[in-house]
Amino acid sequence: MNKVLRQFRSLPIRSRLALLVAAAVAFAVAAVSVTCWFIVQGKLYDEVNGDLRAAARMPVDADTATNVINNCTQTPSSQTGLNGFGPRARTMYYEIVKADGTACVFDDSVGLVKVTGSDKEVAKDPTPDRGTTRSGTDSKGNSVRALTMPLMVSRGDPRNRITVPGYALVIGMPLKSTESTLNDLALVLLLVSGIGVFGAGAAGLWIARAGLRPVDKLTEAVEHVARTEDLTIRIPVEEDSEDEIARLSRSFNSMTASLASSRELQQQLIADAGHELRTPLTSLRTNIELLTRSEETGRPIPPADRKALLSSVTAQMTELAALIGDLQTLSRSDAATPADRVDVVDLQDTVEAALRRARLRGPELTITADLQPWFVRAEPQALERAIVNILDNAVKFSPDGGVIDVVLKGGELTVRDHGPGIPSEELPHVFDRFWRSPSARALPGSGLGLSIVARTVQQAGGEISLRPAQGGGTVATVRLPGAATPPPEAV
């Protein structure tokens, strides 16, 4: 059985569907055919039983019955005379059964019906109107339908009938024609069933091919993508179609579009990272070549210039390290945050820790804070890094002696500086990777800080926005879902 199932599962889907349809139709046709055959059989037997009961209504002549019993024989001696049973008598079985099971046939009987126990019971208990109908065989093995009833005789007037104790009358009809009809019906039903199953299998195969044609297209598209890595391919889908194939095709198109967009962003990131890395590497290489040439030629560089070169090399290495660190952080944030790195974070404590670092970087600035409790689910280190980046931007663009206002209330964190602000035409680009305002090109930074912030906030289920502040400066707003009290499992 398991081997058959494995072989079935190894077949193509269209073949399996065709086989399943054919099997279902075969089962239905077989059930209908068998039911039809039994219904017809019952109708034919009812008709034969009716004929037997009609023949039994005619009583046996008393003298004829006496003659049959006295000259008891199991072989009809002649087939002349109707013995009162009508013109159909010569095609039927007539015999009298004694209580001991001895059968005596009439002269016009077509043969001898084999006696059964039920026949002897009727002979022993000749209750009026008692009778049993059964199927049996005659002495030659032919199928017979027989009616057994108490023997009733009459003299002259058929209405005056007398039951003879100890004897039963058996009337039978051959079932050859009935069985022939049933056999012909079975053959017809078998042929019709075979044609129906074959037709159902062919129809099932055609339906499977037609129904799976979109799946074939989808398979071809997937194989094409796997072979060529061409993510621009799309599967045509009817707009008003809502079946499973259409949903699968739309999902595939959405997936390839997302992969194409992800690849484009990845390529853009590589190109932007290469461009950003080229400048500090070129400057670093130039400074190192100057130092190397000085050593090789024996012409020492003045101490002040040498110190400036070394300071420049150190700054460029620091810039490279910061850029590489930002790229690593951004690549980690591009992937889904693992569940084991997500925890309940006290946003108030995180902002206070970021404020301590911001005050060290801008000691000449005044940073005010109004913080209320708020708990969120996020990666603690990534969230603190994002808030530090926001405060670093505020410190970087604030004038000497400026003020930075930080407010945390109801899950909304706002950081407001009094710097030059961001032009409205540049606001749509502030969260793009490596994007830097033309006015900030000379300032340190990789252009990745706000991209990291945006991705971290989004993965925490929040949102971030920048807008010009009234009176000058910029307001950064971060909204994070959470609660003012920690969840029970974090207490």
pLDDT at 87 over 50: no
| Residue 328 forms part of a structural domain | yes
User: Is 391 in the same domain as 282?
Assistant: no
| Residue 418 forms part of a structural domain | yes
Please report the pLDDT score of residue 415 as a whole number. Answer: 92
The fraction of the chain above a pLDDT of 70, given in percent, is 79
Query: Which of 2-6, 199-203, 239-243, 443-447 has the lowest average pLDDT?
Result: 443-447
User: Is 46 in the same domain as 107?
Assistant: no
Most confident stretch, 72-81, 184-193, 310-319: 184-193
**Residues 156-168, mean pLDDT to the nearest whole number:** 79
Residue 12: pLDDT band with limits 50, 70, 90? low
Q: What is the CATH number of the domain that holds 156?
A: 3.30.450
Q: Which domain holds residue 479?
A: 340-490
What is the tens place of the pLDDT at every residue in 382-431? 888 888 888 888 888 888 888 899 999 988 999 998 888 777 777 766 76
User: Is 325 in the same domain as 275?
Assistant: yes
The fraction of the chain above a pLDDT of 90, given in percent, is 7
User: Is 28 in the same domain as 145?
Assistant: no
Please report the pLDDT score of residue 86 as a whole number. Answer: 46
Interacting residues of 212 by C-beta distance below 8 A, sequence separation 6+: 13, 14, 17
User: Is 170 in the same domain as 187?
Assistant: no
Map tokens 């706000």 to a residue. Answer: 450
Please report the pLDDT score of residue 268 as a whole number. Answer: 64
Phi, psi of 340 (to 5 degrees): -75, -10
**Residues 323-346, mean pLDDT to the nearest whole number:** 64
**Counted domains in the chain:** 4
What is the tens place of the pLDDT at every residue in 168-198? 889 998 988 888 888 998 898 888 888 877 8
User: Is 187 in the same domain as 112?
Assistant: no
Please report the pLDDT score of residue 32 as a whole number. Answer: 87
Q: What is the CATH number of the domain that holds 470?
A: 3.30.565.10
Q: What is the CATH number of the domain that holds 248?
A: 1.10.287.130
User: Is 130 in the same domain as 253?
Assistant: no
The pTM assigned to this predicted structure is 0.46
Residue 277: pLDDT band with limits 50, 70, 90? low
Residue 39: pLDDT band with limits 50, 70, 90? very high
User: Is 321 in the same domain as 283?
Assistant: yes
User: Is 396 in the same domain as 478?
Assistant: yes
Higher pLDDT, 124 or 248: 124
pLDDT at 236 over 80: no
Please report the pLDDT score of residue 272 as a whole number. Answer: 58
The C-alpha atoms of residue 472 and residue 417 are separated, in whole angstroms, by: 8
Please report the pLDDT score of residue 426 as a whole number. Answer: 73
Beta bridge partners of 174: 144
Strand pairing class (103-105; 132-137): unpaired
| Residue 214 forms part of a structural domain | yes
What is the tens place of the pLDDT at every residue in 444-486? 555 566 777 888 888 888 898 888 888 788 898 999 998 888 8
The C-alpha atoms of residue 448 and residue 466 are separated, in whole angstroms, by: 16
- Residue-averaged pLDDT of the chain: 78
| Residue 42 forms part of a structural domain | yes
The C-alpha atoms of residue 430 and residue 426 are separated, in whole angstroms, by: 7
Residue 442: pLDDT band with limits 50, 70, 90? very low
- Examine the fold and report which residue of 289, 318, 333 is the final residue of a domain before the chain moves on: 333
Most confident stretch, 230-234, 351-355, 422-426: 351-355
Q: Kindly give the residue spans of alpha helices, DSSP state H, lying in 335-486.
A: 347-361, 380-397, 449-459
Phi, psi of 104 (to 5 degrees): -125, 120
User: Is 39 in the same domain as 130?
Assistant: no
Count of other CB atoms within 10 angstroms of residue 292: 10
| Residue 4 forms part of a structural domain | no
| Residue 268 forms part of a structural domain | yes
- Examine the fold and report which residue of 300, 333, 366 is the final residue of a domain before the chain moves on: 333
pLDDT at 369 over 80: yes
Cα–Cα distances (Å) from 253 to 249, 261, 273, in that order, read: 6, 12, 30
User: Is 49 in the same domain as 83?
Assistant: no
| Residue 239 forms part of a structural domain | no
Interacting residues of 430 by C-beta distance below 8 A, sequence separation 6+: 422, 450, 466
Please report the pLDDT score of residue 189 as a whole number. Answer: 87
Please report the pLDDT score of residue 276 as a whole number. Answer: 58
User: Is 189 in the same domain as 164?
Assistant: no
pLDDT at 38 over 80: yes
| Residue 20 forms part of a structural domain | yes
